[in-house]
Amino acid sequence: MNHDNPGRTASRELNLKLVDKLSQCLDLTAYPPVKLGVGTRLSYSGDTVTRIPLLVSGAADASMHQMTDGGTQVLLVSWGAGEIMLLSYLFTREALTADIEVTENTVYRWLPIEVVEECLLGNQELLVLLVRFLALRLREVQARERSWLERGVHERVCATLARIVKAMPRRSEGGVMLAATHESLAARCGVSRLRLSKELKELEDAGLVRLGRGTIEITDTAWFDAVR
């Protein structure tokens, strides 16, 4: 399994350790691989969680929507190759509160939640790793939420595009082609469609992107690579 992930956080490191430890008591390869392309949904908000995905390769985001005085706020949690997703749903039978979207061509395996829970209950080290992971992920999400609330529309749009640029493969001419509607991208940025369109037009005027019918081409990837 490929564990290369240049954007690892502390919680991601723990997630990878948990997967390695879990593989010692559970044959992960016994569950067939499933492929999904960029932009498709792996799970939908409202789905009951009876199994959790292990990403063999690729990446995915969870978009969680909350209503605020300023409109729709979108908090993103992301996963990379080698990680198990939706670990916070272990030992619960709650419905998903987020859409899970594939952001890179992805291969994953569905793991039955009961089987994973059985392994955790039978291994104290695994259980401690899970608790440590959940605590770290919570702090990271809270920090991301505070940072996101402090950003203006321009910063939100640029930060979201920068995340996409970092996640997607470069074309032979060096750019990145994003197939997305303004509506779906606006939701990811936590801004209105009208505000997004205005920002994208300004980015196009600056020579950073090229807008097409249903596509956005990132022409200056170096500029977005520098966005934090």
| Burial of 114 from C-beta contacts in 10 A (0-12 / 13-18 / 19+) | exposed
- The tens digit of pLDDT for each residue in 66-123 reads 444 344 445 567 899 999 999 999 998 888 888 898 988 999 999 999 999 999 999 9
Cα separation, 113 vs 209, whole angstroms: 42
Please give the pLDDT value at position 15.
94
pTM, entire model: 0.63
Q: How many residues does the chain have?
A: 228
Q: Name residue, tokens 């593989």.
A: 23
Residue 145, pLDDT > 90, answer no
Query: Under a CB-based contact definition with an 8 Å cutoff, are residues 193 and 182 in contact?
Result: yes
DSSP codes of every residue in 102-169: ESS-EEEEEEEHHHHHHHHHT-HHHHHHHHHHHHHHHHHHHHHHHHHHH--HHHHHHHHHHHHHHHSP
- The tens digit of pLDDT for each residue in 7-58 reads 457 888 999 999 999 999 999 999 999 999 988 889 888 899 999 999 999 9
Please give the pLDDT value at position 64.
59
**Angle CA(192)–CA(137)–CA(23) in degrees, nearest 5?**
120
